Structure 1
């Protein structure tokens, strides 16, 4: 049995990402850009995922194109190094958490999206 978060609706987690960013002066559009970059979803795809309340597991399993550059995401989130997480789904979730964290900490988008 996987972690509880695997069966949570992405639609329940998404507002937390947006709130975290907005509290730090960032935007929903920047959160969406991170999601598009990481997963390959587009705006209509993302709206559909939110409307259909797909689980986190399905969100990542059906991601159109997980960005190869996501492997460059390193560091600690929730006390664990993301590059050392063994469960593939949990690692994908923590990659997203880490990117949203970087956004909230004021990093430039090109650094967050590993294009610098």
Structure 2
């Protein structure tokens, strides 16, 4: 598990984008998910990616982790996201789950847990 802590976000981001692209989605949507989750601006996100920032630092330095992320539930790689005990791994799994939803064709409003207008 130590490998995950030193893995750069950029090295995984390319896989998120490739997964989304295969399903007709875009890098902009992947980045929107990351910005929604962490509070980074697009410029700060790009700087973190360019700097090779590892996941631990990326989440620790996030401007404003979105409290709505706690509503993310479901399985990633057969594991319930909300049951992941390690806080860092849970944050990583939140991203994995949101990118999975994007690749499945979900609307951004649903992915980003936006309230439904009446």
Query: Smaller-chain TM-score range?
Result: over 0.9
Residue 73 (structure 1) shift: 0.1
Residue 63 (structure 1) shift: 0.7
Residue 51 (structure 1) shift: 1.3
In structure 1, runs of 5+ residues without a counterpart are none
* Residues 55-98 of structure 1, C-alpha deviations (whole Å, 9 max, x = no match): 11111111111000000000000110001110000000000000
Name the SS of the counterpart of 1:114 in structure 2. Answer: coil
Residue 49 (structure 1) shift: 0.2
* Residue matched to 1:29: 28
- Equivalences for residues 26-65 of structure 1 within 5 A: 26-65=25-64
* Residue matched to 1:78: 77
In structure 2, runs of 5+ residues without a counterpart are none
Name the SS of the counterpart of 1:74 in structure 2. Answer: coil
Residue 3 (structure 1) shift: 3.1
Residue 44 (structure 1) shift: 0.7
Q: Does 1:67 align with 2:62?
A: no
Bigger Cα displacement from structure 2, 2-11 vs 91-100: 2-11
Matched residues in 1 for 2:53 and 2:28: separation? 21
Aligned length: 115
TM-score by length of 2: 0.95
* Residue matched to 1:95: 94
